[in-house]
Structure 1
């Protein structure tokens, strides 16, 4: 058993890792990056069978992150196969965008069940194991949208901010048990996440697709930066310069940040609702 507070050695020394949403996108890149360093990895996803793209030696489980039974099976599997786990990566999620008056309550329920409660379930199921071990690392994949909140992304921003808050809470709550918690907050990068867009505001979602497809960052590059952050046990892992700039602007240059966000909102209004008339805010009321 690993000594409390020390955890498995970093840097690819045979850690036991489970990655949700590991069949594609960032999840697949993380699976490959962990495996390439010699870590023992299980990828999970919705398909019944393992994808052909998994690296040699990587295990696979069918896991729906909204299913309590699937999570219980995953826990039983790693306990039987490995007698424990060193790193749980809660990565599975869907993309979403939309204006507050266009998104339906069902849109909100779907993204909350997957992007928030999927992470909550993973943390709840594996925390007792980590406590017994006296070690373990929860890695929750949120988004830059959890730290800065652009317009027309209310549901996505809200659930990702909740994942950030959950992770910060667990950083403090589980530290006395030797358990580390990190939250990953990447900006847009090239991935198939756009394929999960299925909300009620396709005009706005088209903008998200353009941002994802137009990014210079690949999922493999983001995964490499995530692993460095995990090795260093960083509580918040920012993967790109754009994200770090946005966070600093919100904290230290708030008027400029607000102006930029309102500019984005005005651009959306002109594109999707060109016949509306913006109110005149140039004259202050007495």
Structure 2
């Protein structure tokens, strides 16, 4: 019997209820990822935090495993898969949470900035899904949780690369939800509005005006990462396909779908304001 088959046959049964689940969280050393890791540990889950630091960051909570994993590296993803197979015999919840912030007008933001955000925020999620889907199919159980953003559903001006990446994550999640259901695999996409986190530290594009706006929206947001994490976990427990985390997000989501003229007027006004600010109108 091959090592792969041996591990699959000896795996503990996958769990679909809170407590005792095996959870891998990318970008888990800070922000929403850290908040989710802490909350999962508090429920009695086993947690593997993966992030970019070569050695275990001091922020990673006691009781969690740590592994360096760059979501742009398939080799790193393979190491993450090997880790959960060897240590736990499988995985119950994959949280594709790692991401970077970006903002920029189409004629200001560079192609290299586009390539960076798509490689991390979209293809990083794709790599995670591709890596762990075979394991989940073997188990005939599992839950993929992809962190997108309200920007994946509501596409305001001045954020085309970020909006495109997050909309891609939403589309991917919806697709996989239907594609993987026959194997008992659930897929959720998380679409929060702005909340207080360190995401702004990843800003490094050419459009400094847009990045200043993003900085204010993140640092002055009313919700904390811990509050968002609590809502996300409840959504995971209920197998919600789309997890909206705040009132503003729900209002914008339903306005776009049910009152499209009002949504268009709001977005048009935002575009005009951005043009005036840049001195082009």
- Superposition TM-score tier, normalisation by shorter sequence: over 0.9
Q: Is contact 2:25-2:47 (8 Å) kept? A: yes
Which ranges of 4 or more aligned residues in structure 1 deviate by more than 4 Å?
A: none
Q: Could you tell me which residue of structure 1 aligns to residue 197 of structure 2? A: 191
The CA distance in 1 between the partners of 2:276 and 2:149, in whole Å, is 27
The CA distance in 1 between the partners of 2:84 and 2:226, in whole Å, is 26
Q: Is contact 1:7-1:178 (8 Å) kept? A: no
Q: Would you say 1:110 and 2:133 are equivalent positions?
A: no
Q: Is contact 2:147-2:191 (8 Å) kept? A: yes
Q: Could you tell me which residue of structure 2 aligns to residue 158 of structure 1? A: 164
Which of 106, 112, 118 is the equivalent residue of 1:100? 106
The CA distance in 2 between the partners of 1:61 and 1:7, in whole Å, is 22
Question: How do 1:52-71 residues align onto structure 2 when only pairs under 5 Å count?
Answer: 52-71=58-77
Q: Could you tell me which residue of structure 1 aligns to residue 152 of structure 2? A: 146
Question: How do 1:30-109 residues align onto structure 2 when only pairs under 5 Å count?
Answer: 30-109=36-115
* 1:215-234 alpha-carbon deviations (Å, 9 max, x no partner): 11000000000000000000
Which of 256, 259, 266 is the equivalent residue of 1:253? 259
TM-score, length basis structure 2: 0.94
Q: Could you tell me which residue of structure 2 aligns to residue 280 of structure 1? A: none
Q: Could you tell me which residue of structure 1 aligns to residue 5 of structure 2? A: none
User: How far 1:7 moved relative to its partner?
Assistant: 5.0
Secondary structure of 2:267's partner?
helix
Q: Would you say 1:8 and 2:42 are equivalent positions?
A: no
The CA distance in 2 between the partners of 1:7 and 1:246, in whole Å, is 36
Q: Would you say 1:219 and 2:225 are equivalent positions?
A: yes
Larger Rg: 1
The CA distance in 1 between the partners of 2:18 and 2:135, in whole Å, is 22
* 1:82-133 alpha-carbon deviations (Å, 9 max, x no partner): 0000000000000011000111111111101000000000000000000000
Q: Mind listing any 5+ residue stretches in structure 2 that lack a counterpart?
A: 1-7
Q: Is contact 2:16-2:92 (8 Å) kept? A: no
Secondary structure of 2:146's partner?
strand
Q: Could you tell me which residue of structure 2 aligns to residue 123 of structure 1? A: 129
The CA distance in 2 between the partners of 1:215 and 1:62, in whole Å, is 30
The CA distance in 1 between the partners of 2:259 and 2:100, in whole Å, is 31
User: How far 1:9 moved relative to its partner?
Assistant: 3.4
The CA distance in 2 between the partners of 1:74 and 1:96, in whole Å, is 27
TM-score, length basis structure 1: 0.93
The CA distance in 2 between the partners of 1:130 and 1:247, in whole Å, is 31
Secondary structure of 1:266's partner?
helix
Secondary structure of 1:250's partner?
helix
